[in-house]
Each structure stands twice: as structure tokens, then as C-alpha cells.
Structure 1
Amino acid sequence: MTSPEERQQLYCLSPETNQIWPTMFSIFLVDLVANGGSESCLRLRPRARENSGKRVTGSHKLRVGPWNIGSLTGKSVELVKILKKRRINIACVQETKWVGSKARDVNGFKLWYSGGSRDRNGVGILVDGDLREQVVEVRRISDRLMTIKLVIGGCTLSVISAYAPQVGLDEETKKLFYEDLDEVVRGIPNTEKIVIGGDFNSHIGATSSGFDDVHGGFGVGERNGGGTSLLDFAKAFELVIANSCFSKKENHMVTFRSSVAKTQIDYLLLRKGDRGLYKDCKVIPSENLTTPHKLLVMDLEIKRDRRKKLVSDRPRIKWGGLTPALSREMGEKLMEMGAWSGSGDADTMWNKAASCIREFASTVLEVSRGNFGGHKGDWWWNGEVQGKVEEKKAAYAKLVECVDKEEKQTLKKAYNTTKGEAKIAIREG
């Protein structure tokens, strides 16, 4: 049994007032500072943890691929068999030649398609059995363009199946296709991820000349006008052509092979900021669906990054500003306030002490304003930024519509200028 002297030393019992001087509490406050504690540390009674903002991490591996199949009639079962064999989760198919805007099950895959003629065009997207329930939106724009939206690992992913007009078609048809594609991509929030897979009937060339930020430097053949249009589009929306970013043997880059030609006209695009997502991109030349087009696949790894929302809707004391000197001052003040006097059960005494602690701490430490709504992260989107972004979009629209080479060079410079001004406005906003 401890002696009165030992008890006095342990609790710092004041001989004059016979009150407990909370030395241990002062030490606790100093320790609180050193360990970055928070207001919740002042609660003595154990309780369930509130949302702590702890990050739950992991990844979801995904394989996506575009394929011009020539016609889907009589091939759907064989197509799905290949997709399963190659572990492809999402396939963007072109030239389906199926009429209608419908959906159907194909051996465990869900197929959404859009087409207007049994003789030409038509696009579709197939999703495997594990992901089909994650599809939250389907949009059919035309017989050359459609998109679906999925939620995977806490991320929203928009997948676009695109079939660009062939080289021999008129400029108006090509212009309409890119206008539709522009509108689709512009309507996808920057917070969402994008994968565009399709037959673009264009050659981006073997080198990245003039387009280092969107062309990875690996390709096949010479660039043509359609390739320049695709690269301009990618540059305008800050996308990168994934299958130009990996050094491969020619067989694993050629997406179209016939008796008279072998070239690259099928592509996969995604945001430049998501370059870390794709791990590989290649052609699988051995798979055949009686079409000159070859199956192109890209391996993605989408990080699960779910952060629980912090309970921050009320003002909080910034305990990080507590110093040893302030903790000593607080101890003295709490004595004056009678924080440790009184009688009753433990809960009553603690509630009184905790109230005194918060009352005094709020006068000597800063208090957060709390979260009263609003959109975190939207602070930069002001009128000036919005105006600069619209100017950039207008400049790009003029660039795409222009067919004169000399005028196009002038418009390209104007577009680059407006793009730079928009970036500066966002950075300084």
C-alpha cells in the first residue's frame, strides 16, 4: 500500500487545497503534440473508431482490346471464345454490321451494339461476366461511335468504341465523326478515366515527329492525313496513343495485314495522366476471325484508392499547435477553472474536465472552420479559367475543320497559344 507521501508525489496532491494537480495530464498533452494527436484523443472512454481517412489500396487488373471483325454475324460465339482464351475483359468491336441499338448475352459476356445497316459500319462493346454488373451507363451516338461507363475499384471508367471513316470517304463524313468524338470526350469529367479503342483508318507513322507528347515513338509506316488528324485530336484532349508507347516486334505492332499491305490503323488511347495504368500493349497476330485486322490488347492496372470521408463538418481545435509551454499554461489555467474539482461518477467528472480543456484550448489554439459544403478541388474553376478553356476548345474546332495546309499551320499555332494560356490560368487560378 502506498504512503501519503508516495500518493502526493504520484498525483501531485496539493497540501493546501487537497486537489489533484494533473501533472500526468500535462505530460499527456506534451505527448499528444509529439505524436500528432487530435481532439478525439481527449476522450478516455473506449469507443468505436470514426472514419479515419485510412486509405484502402489494391488494384484491379484489366485487359481491353479493339478489333475490327468485318461482321459479327455468325462470329459472336467464336469471338467470345477468343476473348476468354486471351483473358480480355472488355472488347471494342467495329464493323459489326448489325442493325439496331440493343444488347444481348453471348456466352457469359454482355454485348451492347449500335448499327444502322447490314452492309457497313456498326460498333459494339463486350464486357465479361465479372464486370457486366459494373456498367452504369450506355450511350449509342451513331453506327461509328458508342460508349459505356463502368465503376471499377472505386474509379469511373469510360470505354469508347470508335470506327473512323475510311480514307476514300468525303471530308464531311470524317469531320462529322471527329465532331461526335470530340463531344463525347469533352462530356467526360477530368476525374474519370478514358479508354478509346477503335479502327481509326489512319497511319500515325513510325516516329513521333511533332507529337512527342502523344506519340510514344513506336509505330509502323509513314504518317498520313488521317494520322495527323488523330494525333491532333489526342493532343487537344491530352490523350496518348498506348500502342505507340511500347517497343515491339513488327508482328506485334501491325494491326492490319493483307496480301498487299501490312500497317497500323487500330489504336488504343487514354489520358496522359493515366500512363501509369497501362503495363503493356501489343497485337496478338495468331488470333483470326477471317478479317485482315488483328486483335490489339492493352493491360491495365487500376488502383483501388478509396479514402473514407473524414468527419470534418464541424470546427475542430488544431491540437498540432500545442507546445510544452502552452501545456504548462493550460495545466495552471485548468486548476483555476476547477477542472479537477468536484464529485460524482467518473463520467461526470471527466465531462467537466473535458469541457474546461476544450474551452481553454479554443482560446489559445487555432480552430478550423469546418466543412460547410462546397466542392473541394473546384476552387480553381473561376470565370477566367473557364473563358481560357473555351478559347482553347474553339481554337481546336477551327483547326480540325481547316483543310488548307498553310492556314492549318497558323491555326495550329493559335491553338497551342490558347492551350498554354489555359494551363497558366488553371495553375494560377
Structure 2
Amino acid sequence: MEQALRHKLEKPHELEIQQKSPLASGEGTSQESRQEPEKLVTRKDSKKTVKVKFGTWNVGSMKLKNDGEIVVPNGGRSLNMTKFMENKELKALSVQETKLVGEGEVILDEEFGGEYKMYYIGESTRKNGVGIILHSDLQKNVKVDRVSDRLIVLTFMKYDKVWHIISAYAPHQGHSAAVKRKFMEELEEYVRLFPESDIIVLCGDMNAHVGESSDGYEGVHGGSGFGIRNPEGGRLLKLAKTLNMAVVNTYFEKEGRYRITYKNNKNETQTDHILLGKDHLGFIEDCEAIPDGFDEILQHKLLVAEFLVKNDNEGEDQNLFDFSDKNNNVGEDQNLDENNNEW
């Protein structure tokens, strides 16, 4: 694992890894001292609020062009990510299975204004690969931690809160139980670094079926999932319970097509998820899969969560970090690897 987060946050945000992961022994913590929300009620008490959409999408593959354009290829067609995010009104999008090589940051379509920037990491074998695309509203004082080709974490201050967005790509069927367990333990270790007062958004292709009903995971599973739970889904729910988080996309009653995130011929499942700390579920206005548009022809569907947050656009965003460390890759756009110009 790469070196742990190099955060230098102002008090009272002090980061430290807690006790050894209970997932290693298959046991979760009781969390008896923490209160669970009785129901999902959006906080509408603020006079100045704004709706913000965050999404997650397994794109299957990506191509970076020298002019800063990022496209998703499929069947001879390509999708410009800037236009896609503008059309979907997304402020942030976590992407998985990009199959990009190396790591870096790139401003999308800079010659046309460059409102979006992608932070990514991949490996030379062109498997896996994860990234997060941010709108310019969220790009000030971003802290990037590229953990592996399956895990990337961005931290920033916005909407009067500290945010941690995690893009995760869990090992799929065919990988050993040991590989899957190691990934979950690594994921838990990083989430535990953050104070519960911060907004932690864990999203990605978790390759886990959490099932339609909560069935023993009330307060973690909202009872509006899809399909039948599998062992990977059970482990994800156990992780969520341990971390005092909830699977947001199971909290909204939707037609099946708005819950399905993966479709391959007649096989329809829900493998992509958005998790959020229970204490912040009240910020969620809606969450659903988007079955129409370009992403309809891809196997994985875009999953979007809509937040209702304080509008702080008129104020100054706080600087949380000391950027004296030149190795933290923040605020410096890196040159594109020529290998990423190939399909």
C-alpha cells in the first residue's frame, strides 16, 4: 500500500488509523455508542441551499487525447466526458475500469474553458484503473491520494463541509477470496482515517449484490435494493455497518430500471453503489441509476446521488492543506502518457 494519507488538517480534524480491521476476523463492531437515523429526511432548514449531483460509473475503458479531451469508446461511438457531465449536471463523477496507464491530472477540453479536471491512476497492463472528475467549483485545494489502481481518494472543502470522495473498483468474480478480503481491508483502513463529522462519499463498482431487502442490515440497507444478496454483498453491508455508513441507493423506492446498474443481455443486477456516513443521510435528496442516454449501450449504468447542501459560492473556500510537499501532486497538471492515446 502507498504511504498513508499525508493530510495536514487544522484541528479538530486529526487523522489516525483506528484498531485493527474487524473484517479480517469476520466480525463487525457493535457501534452501540453511535446513533442511527430513524428515517431518511432531507435537511431543508437552511435558507441558502443548492442541489449538487455526484455520480459513479464503470466506463469499461477510456481514452485521453492530447488536447485534453476524454472519451469513452463503445461500438465505434465515442462520448465526450465534458459534454456528458454537463448534460447530466454532475459536479463530480467517480469512474472505474478506465484502463488508463500511469497516474496524473488532466484538464478536460481546456481550449473550451476546461471546467472539469480528472484525477486518475492506472497500471501498465490496462486492467482496472480508477479516477474522479471534478467540476471547477470543487477543484480548489484538492488533496489527492492514489492508493492503487482500484482506489483513489480526493479531499476538499466545499459547501461548508470537508468532503472525501472515494472511487473504488472491487475485485470481481474470478479473483480469490484473499484478494477480495485484502481490498476490503485496505478500503476500510482509508475510510477510518476520516472524522465522522466529514462527509465521506464512497462510490464505485463494488461488484456486490446487496439484495432487495435489508434482511438483518436495517439502518445500513434501506430496503429498496435489487436482486438476491451474494457473499460479496454481505461483506459490503458488513463493512458499511462497521464504518457507520449506509448504502444510499437502497433508500429510494424506484422502478427496477432505476435500481439496476449492470445489464448484460438478460442479466440485470445492482453492483454499483454509493455509500455515505449515516449522520449525513439527511443531505440526500435522491439517488437512482440512469437507464437512458449514451450509457444505455454500455453494460454499467450511471448511478447519481443528489445532495442538498449549503450554498457557499459567495464565500471563500477554506485552505485545509499545507502544499509545501512537492510530491503530493496537487495543483499541478501532469503530461499525458502517450500510452493513454491508444484504445
Quick check: TM above 0.5? yes
1:227 pairs with one of 218, 224, 233: 233
Which sections of structure 1, spanning at least 5 residues, go unmatched?
Answer: 1-55, 306-429
> How far apart in 2 are the matches of 1:70 and 1:224?
23
> How far apart in 1 are the matches of 2:131 and 2:293?
19
Residue in 2 aligned with 1:253? 259
> How far apart in 2 are the matches of 1:192 and 1:219?
26
| One-letter code aligned to 1:58 | K
Residue in 2 aligned with 1:292? 299
Residue in 2 aligned with 1:373? none
State the 1:97 CA deviation: 0.5
The within-5 A match list for 1:4-15 is: none
Matched, 1:99 2:101: yes
* Structure 1 counterpart SS, 2:124: coil
Matched, 1:178 2:184: yes
| One-letter code aligned to 1:195 | V
Matched, 1:81 2:87: no
1:215-259 deviations in whole A, cap 9, x for unaligned? 000011100000000000000001010000000011100000111
> How far apart in 2 are the matches of 1:118 and 1:297?
30
> How far apart in 2 are the matches of 1:154 and 1:244?
27
State the 1:69 CA deviation: 0.2
Give the RMSD, CA atoms, in angstroms.
1.8
Residue in 1 aligned with 2:61? 71
TM-score normalised to structure 1 length: 0.56
Greater helix content: 1
Residue in 2 aligned with 1:197? 203
| One-letter code aligned to 2:136 | G
TM-score normalised to structure 2 length: 0.70
2:52 pairs with one of 59, 62, 81: 62
State the 1:173 CA deviation: 1.0
> How far apart in 1 are the matches of 2:175 and 2:162?
35
Which of 262-271 and 184-193 deviates more? 184-193
State the 1:153 CA deviation: 2.1
* Structure 1 counterpart SS, 2:137: coil
Question: 1:167·1:226 contact (CA, 8 Å) conserved in 2?
Answer: no
> How far apart in 2 are the matches of 1:80 and 1:291?
18
Residue in 2 aligned with 1:407? none
State the 1:117 CA deviation: 3.1
> How far apart in 2 are the matches of 1:103 and 1:184?
21
1:59-86 deviations in whole A, cap 9, x for unaligned? 2421001000000126256222111101
State the 1:118 CA deviation: 4.4
Larger CA Rg, structure 1 vs 2: 1
Which sections of structure 2, spanning at least 5 residues, go unmatched?
Answer: 1-45, 65-70, 73-78, 313-343
> How far apart in 2 are the matches of 1:112 and 1:287?
25
| One-letter code aligned to 1:293 | H
Question: 1:98·1:118 contact (CA, 8 Å) conserved in 2?
Answer: no
- In percent, how many aligned pairs have the same letter? 37
* Structure 1 counterpart SS, 2:216: coil
Matched, 1:110 2:117: yes
Residue in 1 aligned with 2:333? none
State the 1:301 CA deviation: 1.3
Matched, 1:140 2:129: no
Higher relative contact order (CA 8 A, sep 6+): 2
> How far apart in 2 are the matches of 1:209 and 1:168?
27
Question: 2:196·2:277 contact (CA, 8 Å) conserved in 1?
Answer: no
1:275 pairs with one of 271, 277, 281: 281
* Structure 2 counterpart SS, 1:130: helix
Residue in 1 aligned with 2:272? 266
Matched, 1:165 2:171: yes
State the 1:304 CA deviation: 5.7
> How far apart in 1 are the matches of 2:206 and 2:284?
21
State the 1:287 CA deviation: 2.6
Residue in 1 aligned with 2:128? 121
2:161 pairs with one of 155, 160, 178: 155
> How far apart in 2 are the matches of 1:129 and 1:117?
29
Question: 1:155·1:304 contact (CA, 8 Å) conserved in 2?
Answer: no
> How far apart in 2 are the matches of 1:156 and 1:295?
25
| One-letter code aligned to 2:277 | R
Question: 1:165·1:174 contact (CA, 8 Å) conserved in 2?
Answer: yes
Residue in 2 aligned with 1:342? none
> How far apart in 2 are the matches of 1:167 and 1:287?
28
Matched, 1:209 2:209: no
State the 1:299 CA deviation: 0.3
How many residues align? The count is 250
* Structure 1 counterpart SS, 2:86: helix
> How far apart in 1 are the matches of 2:61 and 2:260?
20
> How far apart in 1 are the matches of 2:245 and 2:222?
11
State the 1:303 CA deviation: 2.9
- After the TM superposition, list the runs of 4 or more consecutive aligned residues in structure 1 that deviate by more than 6 angstroms: none
Question: 2:210·2:228 contact (CA, 8 Å) conserved in 1?
Answer: yes
